[in-house]
Amino acid sequence: MRSCCLQAGAASCASRPPQLETPFSVFNQGAITPNDAFFVRYHWSGLPTSIDGDSYRLRVAGLVKAPLALSLAELKQLAEPVDMMAVTQCSGISRGFFALRANGGQQGNGAMGNARWTGIPLKTVQEKAGIGASAVQVALNGLETSPVADGLDFQTALSVEHIMAGDVLLAWAMNGEDIPFLTGYPLRLIVPGFYGTYWVKHLSDITVLDKPFDGFWMSTSYRIPDNGSGFIEPGTAVDKTTPINRLNVRSFVTSVQDGAQVTAGRDLALRGIAFDGGQNWQEAKLGKDLGRFSFREWTMVMKAPRKGKHVLMVRAVNRIGQSQPMKALWNPMGYMRNVVETTRVQAV
């Protein structure tokens, strides 16, 4: 595809940006989330309604020896393409389930997805531009703008060190097709193991900086308590914060819905998904390993449940012993929810 648009003749977005969650049943169909069911989230409604893949350029500027303006064709020539399975999850996923309300979109569990991304390491482009020795961070901006004059443009930043580690990708394909418009056509940043806020869509500008980026979405928003866990007791004060970063451990039952009826006395096959910020799973009954940043399917059999109510719980533990709390942990922005999920079933 040479260009992509929202819808033929679409005028522009309404005053609110599109927010779509993946229907939860999709997660039971496999470890890969299909392109047409992938959740969508934007901060501002000022999206372009069509993007021409031929005239698109990725600009690299700031503290570099040679500023760049690369076409998609040039980018694809820069290095051998890399394929990577990786989960993205909105920082505020499941926020709507907190008993103590947290500000922001009241999301359910559908603000996540796992896909196979194809692209080249951002590191390759940085090396081509030649990063200055005093470079500290890289600011990342996409094509959309705020519809209001004083709106704070959505930009995030990553450390030079993180990018130079090599696993951050500039991706043009998702599950073998061009990245769909609302998922970031024509180029999206893939930051494996990190929350969605860094996965900038319609990436157009990369600016190398000699100090930490001070834009609103890094300096004020998307920050968590800087206390190791990122959580605090409701009602206590937060003294220091740090930008949200790695995904924590999470798992779900996908085959049975909360409140479902099942047959008493007959084995109940259960399946689901689990993931974390890039550690490997150690437990048995796991599905195919699609890589350490991917969803991992799991299955098990619940031996002939007796008649009556049962509560199913799923809990993942990674290789270094990190797991999920039994009671939801909290922070003022409602980020990073990873409580052990419960699915109630009635055996009849």
Ligand X SMILES: Nc1nc2c(c(=O)[nH]1)N[C@H]1C(S)=C(S)[C@@H](COP(=O)(O)O)O[C@H]1N2
Binding residues for ligand X, rule: CB under 6 A, are 38-43, 88, 90, 142, 144, 154, 183, 196-197, 199-202
Write out the H or E segment, with its range, that includes residue 188. Answer: strand 188-190
Supply 39's token pair: 């959740």
Q: Judged by CB, which is closer to ligand X: 181, or 281? A: 181
Identity of residue 72: L
Q: Judged by CB, which is closer to ligand X: 155, or 346? A: 155
The one of Mo ion, ligand X, none whose footprint includes residue 337, by CB under 5 to 8 A per kind, is: none
CB 152 within 8 A of CB 217: yes
The one of Mo ion, ligand X, none whose footprint includes residue 162, by CB under 5 to 8 A per kind, is: none
CB 45 within 8 A of CB 16: yes
The one of Mo ion, ligand X, none whose footprint includes residue 39, by CB under 5 to 8 A per kind, is: ligand X
Q: Judged by CB, which is closer to ligand X: 111, or 312? A: 111
Q: How far is the CB of 347 from ligand X (least distance, A)?
A: 36
What DSSP designation does 216 have?
H
Q: How far is the CB of 174 from Mo ion (least distance, A)?
A: 17
The one of Mo ion, ligand X, none whose footprint includes residue 95, by CB under 5 to 8 A per kind, is: none
Burial string for 295-326 (b: 16+ CB within 10 Å, else e) reads: bbbbebebeebeeeebebebbbbbeeeeebee
**Does 196 interact with Mo ion (rule: CB under 5 A)?**
yes
Which residues have a Cβ under 8 Å from the Cβ of 320 and sit 6 or more positions away? 279
Q: Judged by CB, which is closer to ligand X: 183, or 241? A: 183
Q: How far is the CB of 199 from Mo ion (least distance, A)?
A: 9
Supply 46's token pair: 């000022």
| Alpha helical stretches, state H, the chain | 72-78, 122-129, 160-164, 216-219
**Does 243 interact with Mo ion (rule: CB under 5 A)?**
no
Closest by CA position to 201, among listed 19, 2, 42:
42
Q: From 60-68, 135-143, 193-201, 280-288, give the range in contact with Mo ion by CB under 5 A.
A: 193-201
* Pattern 80-99, Mo ion, x by CB under 5 A: ----------xx--------
CB 338 within 8 A of CB 327: no
Q: How far is the CB of 103 from Mo ion (least distance, A)?
A: 13
CB 104 within 8 A of CB 85: no
The one of ligand X, Mo ion, none whose footprint includes residue 201, by CB under 5 to 8 A per kind, is: ligand X
Residue numbers at the binding site for Mo ion (CB under 5 A): 90-91, 196
